[in-house]
Amino acid sequence: MKLQQNLMRKTDKKENNKEFAGFMDIQEHFRDVKDVKVDAKSEREIFRNIYVEEAAFDYPITKAVLQKYIHSNIIPIHHYKDVFNRTNQHYGMQKQYPALILAIKSDPLLYKGPDVCQNFGFSNFYYTSFLLNCIFDCEYCFLQGMYPSANLVAFVNIEDFKDAITKIVSNEREPVYLAASYDTDLIAFHGIIPYLDYFYDFFSTLPNLYVEVRTKSAGQIFYEEHAALENFIVAFTLAPEEVIKKYEKYTPSLKARIKAVKKAIDKGFKVRLCFDPIFIDTEYESLYEKFYDYIFSEIEPGKILDVGYGFFRMPVDFYKRIKKQKSNSKLFIDDYCLIDGIVSYPTALQEEVKEKHFAILLKYIQKDKLFAL
């Protein structure tokens, strides 16, 4: 497949294959489902079905996607919620082989940042969602409880997003911090729809705007093809390899992510490291201390913008929905505390663990560059 070949160029092939395994492995899954035929052409495609809002057909992103995935079934729809919000959807099945839905996003296009997310010192914290859902399948992901469907919704009205961002930045006196990948991983999705290509030059025209894109991707093409911007931050989520294998399905290894971090730094990008979520478990008690030392033996601390740190946490409504779906998951049967509508570990336990972790992190990172929730 040309897409996979392009994504794998100059990167670890095995790790890039993992990023797309979630889409391709479903071919075996569907062979066991009655009346579903999988021919040679569809096996070469990531998306078997692409739903398109009737009003979205004339947008450049839509045309580019439909030209790329010529063997996919194209299904016109009136509104993306007609498919995305249907009842009785099988989330697990969809996550293995999600459909793509091309849609037009209506207002609001930007939202105030929630308290459960870090603002890294910015009082004007917003987030936006060009894309709903993620190609990865992390067991702890809040999206499982937030959305009724695992299908991917890609919004195509780029100019409307730009207008909304410009309006917010113009109306704020202080700098604006925008989380642009709150509901997804834009860099991992870059080979399917290169959203950042559509916005990158635009971001450079707004010096009072600081954009963060968070990723677990090992892909390096983006950093090779774009010049670093002063107001663009790449935030890499890193975790011990044992945690990755257990909870972060289809994601690249720690070693592969570190290679991507180094590439981004070498190309001059502002890089943030995110140790989030942290899990409190006797199984992992000794892992994190070794993990932090390993990270900063591989990555020069002085070249990092800052570090984000946070424990596993989730709005209680999302948690309850996921717990019903994953009744056998140890992660969702552990004992947690409920504080102000958020499920997480007891405060005293968090403080105890954080103190141990910070004793190590502060050997490498200045206190004013370490942000914790």
Query: What count of Cα atoms within 13 Å lies in the side-chain half-sphere of residue 265?
Result: 19
Number of residues written out for the chain: 373
Predicted pLDDT of residue 45: 60
Whether cis (ω within 30° of 0) applies to the bond prior to 148 is no
Choose among 66, 219, 73: nearest CA to 154: 66
Give per-residue pLDDT as tens, 80-116: 999 999 998 877 778 888 999 999 999 999 998 877 7
Taking only the tens of pLDDT, the chain with its 373 residues reads 333 334 334 344 555 554 444 443 333 323 222 233 333 343 346 899 999 999 999 999 999 999 999 999 999 999 999 999 999 887 777 888 899 999 999 999 999 887 777 778 888 999 999 999 999 999 999 999 999 999 999 999 999 999 999 999 999 989 999 999 878 999 999 999 999 999 999 999 999 999 999 999 999 999 999 999 999 999 999 999 999 999 998 899 999 999 999 999 999 999 999 999 999 988 888 899 999 999 999 999 999 999 999 999 999 999 999 998 887 788 988 889 999 999 999 999 999 999 999 999 999 999 999 999 7
Predicted pLDDT of residue 324: 87
Query: What count of Cα atoms within 13 Å lies in the side-chain half-sphere of residue 236?
Result: 29
Whether cis (ω within 30° of 0) applies to the bond prior to 60 is no
Domain 2-372 is found in CATH 3.30.70.920: no
Choose among 190, 153, 132: nearest CA to 53: 153
How far is Cα 235 from Cα 261, in angstroms, rounded to an integer? 9
pTM of the model: 0.87
How many C-beta atoms surround the C-beta of residue 184 within 10 A? 25
Amino acid at site 50? I
Predicted pLDDT of residue 335: 85
Residue with tokens 């709150």: 182
Helices (runs of H) and strands (runs of E) counted in the chain = 16, 18
Choose among 307, 317, 302: nearest CA to 354: 307
User: Which residues neighbour 191 within 8 Å (Cβ) at sequence distance 6 or greater?
Assistant: 3, 4, 6, 7, 219, 221
Amino acid at site 7? L
Predicted pLDDT of residue 247: 93
Residues 202, 204, 209, 215: is their CA dihedral positive or negative? positive
How far is Cα 158 from Cα 153, in angstroms, rounded to an integer? 14
Domain ranges of the chain: 2-372
